[in-house]
Amino acid sequence: MLLTIHATPNAKKTEITGWLDDNTVKIKIAAPPREGKANEELIRFLAEYYKKPKSTIKIVRGLGTKIKQVEV
């Protein structure tokens, strides 16, 4: 499954704030956008949400941007 993520870093907690359509989700991330910390937190959160190992979740596009494509 390929998801488009609209990420908002530096939030108080990591949470889904809304779905724009079946494959596009807005997520607040409780980590700064430095040194890949927000990306790591996003992967951890999605792994927990989908009950999958972290190794099965990959950011395909958008490592340095707020809009990302993630393969689950």
Q: Is 2-71 a domain of CATH 3.20.20.10?
A: no
User: How do the pLDDT tens digits run along the chain, 72 residues long?
Assistant: 899 999 999 999 999 999 999 889 999 999 999 999 999 999 999 999 999 999 999 999 999 999 999 999
pTM of the model: 0.92
Q: Can you tell me the distance from the alpha carbon of 51 to that of 38, in angstroms, rounded to the nearest whole number?
A: 19
Could you state, in order of their start, the residue ranges of all structural domains in the chain? 2-71
**Structure tokens belonging to residue 6:** 């609209």
